[in-house]
Amino acid sequence: MAVGGFATDGPVGNYNGKLTTSVVITCIVAATSGLIFGYDIGISGGVTTMQAFLEKFFPSVLRKATEAKTNLYCMYDSHILTAFTSSLYIAGLAASLAASRLTAAFGRKNIMVIGGCTFLAGSAVNGGAANVAMLLLGRILLGFGVGFTNQATPVYLSEVAPSKWRGAFNTGFQFFIGIGVVSANCINYGTAKHSWGWRLSLGLAIVPALIMTLGAVFISDTPSSLVERGKIAQAKKSLIKVRGDTTNVEAELNDLIKASEVAKAANQEPCVTIFERQYRPHLVMSIAIPFFQQVTGINIIAFYAPVLFQSVGFGNNAALLAAIILGLVNLGSILVSTGVVDRYGRRLLFIVGGTVMCVCQVALACVLAATTGVSGDKQISKGYTILVLVLMCIYAAGFGWSWGPLSWLIPSEIFPMKIRPTGQSISVAVNFGTTFVLSQTFLTMLCHFKFGTFLFYGGWIAVMTVFVVLFLPETKGIPLESMNAVWEQHWYWNRFVRKAAIDEM
């Protein structure tokens, strides 16, 4: 079918799907997959500041942290300690690459269930860990669970939600990530003083895993996935259920069938197809968006928020409380994104959020340089610690309405059906790969770069904001199978998409 005179990969339709109770419940249940990712992000940093945890597994780190002469920025610099956090992400990278074929073969829902079960196993191992090897094994199992769910869930949400509200529903995934982070920070705050607190914090990951796994069992798979696997009758039932209309689903179902037939007729491996010229913009976005999300520094700050706050002068309890405040601010800003993303679009939120975040990172660097000294050997005053927290909260708010939810939304909505699982898999793999490198090196970077660490992330935020202005088209309200039109109309990407389409005529 053609758009603007040029061939596209799939049919074009503008479906008037209703906002039904079924689609709301289904999307909320699916979005709870974010709980396990968020819980893990929040729990790691708090546990690594608990004295009982450090005494058992990382006594050398504890000795360094208690030395009065230690540089503020270097007290937690330990490659073994960072391996505890980062091992999850290398496992998640491997899982996300495998999840591409599995999601296409078994469906989005089933991969979410498998991911939840794997995360359950990892939670149990971590809660009962007796040595570092058990800790790392548990983290690896958690990584496989998160890798599967992060690959399947954003695609699930984009395929089920009506195009008019796709952005709002997809931000639900990031919202539940935020809930997971805040819940974990609260649990860390409550358990930090107990010798068994770290076991409870790590073991309670079973709770969000049970919630999302049991929920995923009872929802139906997406119409796109069912059509892709030849289950047309089930796809129609699923469409009727989520659209709430027995008469007007035929057009959408027919377009899904046509898109599936086009994909099968091409008879190419998705991993090969995605590198074709006409999919160049899709491939670039699947790599650039998740990479840029991580070099904002947000997840690193979330992982190590208690460590970071202690490093700049907060006490242990104050650092954990500050991490809770940071998480709550981020959570509230995600609600802002949910309310406006389908009204004002993705680009505006990216640009405003990026600008706010860049300013805050530069301001943080200036405040820390002025108060802790170039060498980081001065104690920061109470008034300035509050200013540091305020700047971090504004920074977290900017992320929460922009690069947080939208980095999951954009890759899940831009790909045609035949390469959608592959594209999402690449996106999640890049996300985890970048996170692994940054989390493994952050504490060393903080030790050596000191306040310059925040300038490093601020520079990346400036680069990615310019990237959005120049290269990211607006995708709000466009049906998934009509998405090719946005690339044909873009000042730069049209040279790839249109030329490829002309060559095929």
Name the average pLDDT for the chain: 83
- Tell me which of 221-235, 378-392, 405-419 is least confident: 378-392
Q: How far apart are CA 480 and CA 194, in angstroms?
A: 50
pLDDT at 68: 45
Domains of the chain: 21-219+268-489 (1.20.1250.20)
User: 408-465 pLDDT, tens per residue?
Assistant: 999 989 988 788 888 988 999 999 899 888 877 777 777 777 788 889 999 999 999 9
Phi-psi region of 146 (alpha: psi -120 to 50; beta: other; left: phi over 0): alpha
Q: Which residue has the tokens 């109770």?
A: 21
425 in Cβ contact with 151 (< 8 Å): yes
Strand partners, 6: 3
Tell me the three state secondary structure of residue 269.
coil
Helix (H) or strand (E) holding 505: none
- In DSSP notation, 362-392 reads HHHHHHHHHHH-TTS-SPPPHHHHHHHHHHH
Neighbours of 360 (CB within 10 A): 24
Write the burial class of residue 279 (CB in 10 Å: 0-12 exposed, 13-18 middle, 19+ buried). buried
Strand partners, 3: 6
Q: How far apart are CA 491 and CA 483, in angstroms?
A: 16
User: 366-381 pLDDT, tens per residue?
Assistant: 888 887 666 655 666 6
Q: How many CA atoms lie within 13 A of 161 on its CB side?
A: 30
Higher pLDDT, 271 or 9: 271
Q: How far apart are CA 446 and CA 448, in angstroms?
A: 6
Task: Give the residue from 80, 316, 97 showing the smallest Cα distance to 191.
Answer: 316
Q: What is the pTM of this model?
A: 0.81
Q: How far apart are CA 315 and CA 343, in angstroms?
A: 43
Q: Which amino acid is at 20?
A: T
Task: Give the residue from 158, 174, 173 showing the smallest Cα distance to 242.
Answer: 158
